[in-house]
Amino acid sequence: MKQLIQTQPVQFTRIYALGASRGHQTVTNDDIAGPIDSSDEWIRQRTGIVTRKRADKEQSLIDMAAEAANEAIAKAGIQPTDIGTVILATITFPYQTPSGASLLAEMVGAHGAAAYDISAACAGYCYGIAQADALVRSGTSKFVLVVGGEKLSDFIDPTDRSISFLLGDGAGAAIVGPSDHPGISRSVWGSDGANWDKVGMTSSILDFRDGKAQWPTLVQEGQSVFRWAVWEMAKVAKQALAEAGLEAGDLSALVTHQANIRIIDELAKQLELPESVVVARDIVDTGNTSAASIPLAMHRLLSEGKVKSGGYALEIGFGAGLAFGAQVVVLP
C-alpha cells in the first residue's frame, strides 16, 4: 500500500509587512453632530474622535482592500503568485456571495489562491491572523494575505446616536509567512453568543426585501458593549500575554480595536502598562473602522516611527457577535 503524502509543518510564522488604505473624505464632528443633536465637544469627550475617514461613492471596499494589499505585498518582497490564501475580514462587502476575497485575490494578482471572507466584525482581523498562522504552520500555504476592510458608511443612519457617528472606512493588510523565529503567539479567540444582539443591524435583509423595514444599518447597546469590552477583554488580553510567555513590560505596543478612546485607555490601565509601551490611538482621526482598525493603527505606529520593527505588540479585537480575538506579534 502506497504511503499518503502529507504536508510538512512549519515551526514558526511572522508578519512580513503591513499595508493601509483610508477613505478619501475627512468627516469632522461638526459635519455629523446636527442629525444626532450633539456637538464636537460631546463626541470628543465620549469617544476621543476628532475626525473620521470615509470613502466616497467611487471608492469601494475592494478598492481600499486592494490598495492596502498591494502595499503589503510590495513591502514583504514577495510576488502576488506566492500567496496561497487570501482572507478578507469584513462585514460590509455588499454581496452575500461570491466572496470579496476571491475578487481581491484576482485584483492583486494572487491568481488561483484559496480565498474566503470572515464575518467576525471588529475581531475579524485577529481571526484572520490566527488562521493565517495555522495555514502557514500546517504547510497548507507558504504565504497568506490577511485584509481587514470595511466601508461602514454604506450601513449607517446619520440620526443614530449609538454607533453611526463613530464609524469610518478603510482597509489594513498583512502578509503572513514562514519564519526562523517565533513571530505570532498562540491566539486567544472566541465568542459570547449570549450577547449576540448587543451590536448588529436594525433589521434583516429579508425584512427589507419584504417591505417590513428600512435599509438595515448598524446599531449597538453602547453601555452594555462598553462594560463587556472593558472588563471581559482585559481578561482576554492578559490571557494572550500569558500564552505568549510575556509580561506587559515586554511589549513595545498595545494595539486594540479602535472602538472608543475610553475603552482603549481603560484596557491600558488594567494591563498596568509601563510608560515605555506605546498605545495606539488611531481612532482620534480615523474613527472606528471595525475589522480594519488594528492593522491601520499598527501600520501608523510603524510609519510614524513610534515603534520599531522587531518589538512585541499585543493586538486585540472585539465586537459584534460578541466576538473577540487576541495575539502577540513581532512588529514587521
How high is the pLDDT of residue 230? 92
How high is the pLDDT of residue 270? 95
What does the pLDDT average to over 229-242? Answer: 96
The reply to whether 288 belongs to the active site is yes
Residue where the block lists cell 493565517: 132
Other Cβ atoms within 10 Å of 211 Cβ, number: 7
Q: What is the pTM of this model?
A: 0.97
Q: Which of 29, 126, 257, 299 is catalytic?
A: 257
What counts of helices (H) and strands (E) characterise the chain?
11, 14
Residue 204 pLDDT level (bands cut at 50, 70, 90): very high
Average per-residue pLDDT for the chain = 97
CA 191 and chain centroid, separation: 16
What does the pLDDT average to over 28-32? Answer: 96
- Return d(Cα 172, Cα 125) in angstroms, integer: 9
How high is the pLDDT of residue 149? 98
How high is the pLDDT of residue 3? 93
Contacts of 216 (CB under 8 A, 6+ apart): 155, 201, 202, 203, 204, 205, 207, 208
Q: Which of 29, 126, 260, 288 is catalytic?
A: 288
CA 120 and chain centroid, separation: 9
Percentage, residues of the chain above pLDDT 70? 100
How do residues 266-275 score in pLDDT, each as one tens digit?
999 999 999 9
How high is the pLDDT of residue 283? 98
Q: Residue 28 pairs with which residues in a beta bridge?
A: 51
How high is the pLDDT of residue 126? 98
What does the pLDDT average to over 23-35? Answer: 96
What does the pLDDT average to over 17-29? Answer: 97
How high is the pLDDT of residue 154? 97
Residue 2 pLDDT level (bands cut at 50, 70, 90): very high
The reply to whether 122 belongs to the active site is yes
How do residues 268-314 score in pLDDT, each as one tens digit?
999 999 999 999 999 999 999 999 999 999 999 999 999 999 999 99
Q: Which of 122, 126, 260, 299 is catalytic?
A: 122
How high is the pLDDT of residue 303? 97
How high is the pLDDT of residue 326? 98
Percentage, residues of the chain above pLDDT 90? 98
Q: Which domains does the chain have, with CATH numbers?
A: 12-179 (3.40.47.10), 188-330 (3.40.47.10)
How do residues 115-132 score in pLDDT, each as one tens digit?
999 999 999 999 999 999
